[in-house]
Amino acid sequence: MDHAIIITGGSQRLGLALAKALHSKLTPVIITYRTERASLVELKNLGITCVQADFSSDEGIAAFSQYVKNHCSSLSAIVHNASDWLAENTETPPSLIMKAMMQIHVQTPYQLNLAFQPLLERFHQETNRAANVIHLTDYVVDKGSKKHIAYAASKAALANLTLSFSALLAPKVKVNSIAPSLLMFNIDDSDSYKEKTLKKSLMQIAPGEMEGVEAVQYLLKSRYITGHTLHLDGGRHLA
Ligand SMILES: NC(=O)C1=CN([C@@H]2O[C@H](COP(=O)(O)OP(=O)(O)OC[C@H]3O[C@@H](n4cnc5c(N)ncnc54)[C@H](OP(=O)(O)O)[C@@H]3O)[C@@H](O)[C@H]2O)C=CC1
Ligand SMILES: Nc1nc2c(c(=O)[nH]1)N=C([C@H](O)[C@@H](O)CO)CN2
């Protein structure tokens, strides 16, 4: 596949919306998924390549990396969307929570960006346009989180990868972060939690997946933005 776009964690929520919005004949989308879901049928019917990948081990990262190298001649973009929102809890040792958070939010983007550098640079060689790397971080990078300590620290490390990789890969590849505070709730979020969370921002809405999709499309269309973070936070920093 030429000029493919990779979206990790593409079988639900933001990743699923991104896959459907970005897929085209000129830029075929490859999504990774860990869990079998009904959405995969719809994606495959659209011609989207769905690759099962569990990034909780370095072997899982390497296996996906090899798949891409075997099937792709160039990459126009990779969106590092896959993520676990783990809270500290009494059942899981802190060492394992931090290990899991750093594995999915830091090891995976770090190892895949280095592995795919030649494929991203080949896109630039073929089109004279910069390829793109996008890291999905989080508002808590700048504030921390007392209930998701390891999660926030790992997202902060991911935000730092944006700075390093944008300097390393320029001008052939642009690298940016998107930092939402709230895009969409989870199915098990209580009404009281939703009410409390909405009040944390000035806009007081959960904008939905398309807010994230449009931010990704803006970065993909830009020829100049690199090393930056788009904050999708509804003015929470001023609330
Ligand atoms: N939703 C929101 O309001 C906010 C989202 N964000 C960030 O935006 C991004 C998208 O959010 P959202 O759509 O809610 O994400 P999800 O919580 O739905 O996670 C996306 C996917 O990540 C995959 N994933 C998790 N761990 C692994 C792993 N070890 N290996 C492979 N895949 C894995 C899951 O795959 P599977 O389901 O197949 O197991 C899941 O479908 C995330 O990076 C998130 O941190 C930031 C702030 C707010
Ligand atoms: N991987 C995920 N990360 C985050 C999620 C999520 O559902 N999956 N959700 C949030 C929340 O929206 C939080 O920002 C406010 O409730 C944060 N990160």
Would you call 100 exposed, middle or buried from its count of C-beta atoms within 10 A (0-12, 13-18, 19+)? middle
Residue 107 Cα distances to 82, 93, 100, 103, 226, angstroms: 12, 20, 10, 5, 21
Would you call 88 exposed, middle or buried from its count of C-beta atoms within 10 A (0-12, 13-18, 19+)? middle
Q: What is the pLDDT of residue 1?
A: 87
Instruction: Give the max Cα distance, the chain.
Output: 52
The residues spanned by each domain of the chain are 4-238
Active-site residue among 151, 193, 218, 224? Answer: 151
Instruction: Say if ligand 2 is within 6 A of residue 209 CB.
Output: no
Q: Can you list the residues of the chain whose pLDDT is less than 70? A: none
With contact defined as beta carbons under 8 Å apart, do 15 and 81 qualify?
yes
Q: State the ipTM, two decimals.
A: 0.99
Q: Is 33 a catalytic residue?
A: no
The radius of gyration of the chain's CA atoms, rounded to the nearest angstrom, is 17
Write down the architecture of domain 4-238 according to CATH: 3-Layer(aba) Sandwich (3.40)
Can you tell me the distance from the alpha carbon of 170 to that of 164, in angstroms, rounded to the nearest whole number?
A: 10
Task: Name the region of 232 (left: φ>0; alpha: ψ -120 to 50; beta: rest).
Answer: beta
The residue whose CA is least distant from atom 8 of ligand 2 is 85
In the 8-state DSSP scheme, what is residue 116?
Answer: H
In the 8-state DSSP scheme, what is residue 74?
Answer: -
Q: What is the pLDDT of residue 97?
A: 98
**Residue with the two structure tokens 């793109």:** 132
Choose the residue to mutate in 8, 11, 12 for probing ligand 1, maximizing ligand atoms within 8 Å of C-beta.
Answer: 12
Can you tell me the distance from the alpha carbon of 4 to that of 26, in angstroms, rounded to the nearest whole number?
A: 8
Average pLDDT, the chain: 98
pLDDT digit string, tens, across residues 159-185: 999 999 999 999 999 999 999 999 999
